[in-house]
Homo-oligomer: A and B are copies of this chain.
Amino acid sequence: MLTERQLLILQVIIDEFIRYAQPVGSRSLAKKANISFSSATIRNEMADLEELGFIEKTHTSSGRVPSEKGYRFYVDHLLSPEMISQQDLDKIRSLFTERIYELEKIIQNSAKILSDLTEYTAIVLGPTAKENRLKRFQIVPLNDDTAVAIIVTNTGHIEHKLFSFPGTITRSDIEKMVNILNSRLKDVPLIRLREKLFHEVVTLFKHHMENYEYLLQTIADVLNINQHEKLYYGGKMNMLKQPEFRDVEKAQEIFSLIEDEDGVYQLLRKMPFGLNVKIGSENRIQAMEDCSLITATYSIGDDQVGTIAILGPKRMQYSRVISVLNLLSKQLTDSLSRLYDS
């Protein structure tokens, strides 16, 4: 168990290091206003804290730097929630005050604002609905052999795909097909579309149409798209502002991680509900060992859940980032539920 004084010293060391990215020495600590004992005392305490694994030295006679365990303790026990300035609050509110009715735009802007506010990289995962349903299926012929298929979900999400078809298929064939599809597939959850298509709808096709095989396959392709929700990034380049990434090699490493959308998607998807902080190697990814990832979830109604996240150096302003993410996730949940929950 740590004494009050040790807690204080640990906290100040981490605060200072987060701020200045320099190892913290006993002398500079002793000068701080809220510390009233000598540098020698601090040295003794620091030796203890080091023995306990909360801080480290970069070389034998250097100041101390937080260890991963130190950051973890700091995040779990020492964090005082940071007040968010009126200015920043306004920025967040601006997301909702303009009458943007496009969910996608709001989500995208969230990433932008998040990165502006924190100076780190923001990643936002659009809302994944457990139960997204088909609202409408539509085909618009463009000319004699190509058409565009459109699906609209109950959340107003749209997917489309161009396809071509053999001349043997007429416009009335297509119309018939669209009618069948809409009558049978309306309000069916997207995940079930495929099975429904191949079990129920296919028999109707057989009855009412010739040459249905080709179209069936195309439809299956179109319905197959909406695999997973989009990722939005903000401030990708902010990483370069951090002194830990002044080295281009390091920067490239982290960028190739960020650019790997599939990987990032997997990473975010498995984050638990609510707020979560993963520090350095807790992320279990080599390239992220010098990074921390903080995530928060937002939801739209009871069904859709999305994630907002900040990726930054381990030496991150945890307090501020956590406050901002908490606030924004709540605001998103409130406002989006009001706008889109149907």
Contacts and interface: CB of A to CB of B under 8 A. Distances in A.
A220 interface: no
Interface in A51-103: 101-103
B256 A101 contact: no
Binding site secondary structure of chain A = mixed
A152 B147 CA distance: 10
A252 interface: yes
A222 to B, nearest CB: 10
Interface in A94-146: 101-103, 135-136, 138, 140, 142-143, 146
A194 interface: no
Nearest to A259: B237
A309 B228 CA distance: 31
Contact of A240 (B160, B255, B342): B255
Nearest to A142: B156
A230 to B, nearest CB: 14
A148 B142 contact: no
A259 B235 CA distance: 10
Given A158-B160, A237-B255, A142 B135 contact: yes
A158 B158 contact: yes
B252 A102 contact: no
A150 interface: yes
Nearest to A251: B240
Copy tally for this chain in the complex stands at: 2
Interface residues of A, number: 36
B248 A251 contact: yes
A143 B339 CA distance: 12
Interface stretch (A4-12, A38-46, A161-169, A268-276): A161-169
B342 A143 contact: yes
A102 B161 contact: yes
Contacts of A158: 148, 150, 158, 160
A178 to B, nearest CB: 12
A151 to B, nearest CB: 10
A198 to B, nearest CB: 21
24 contacts: A101-B162, A101-B163, A135-B140, A135-B142, A138-B140, A138-B150, A140-B152, A142-B156, A143-B342, A146-B156, A146-B342, A148-B152, A148-B156, A148-B158, A150-B150, A150-B158, A156-B162, A158-B160, A237-B255, A240-B248, A240-B252, A241-B252, A245-B248, A248-B248
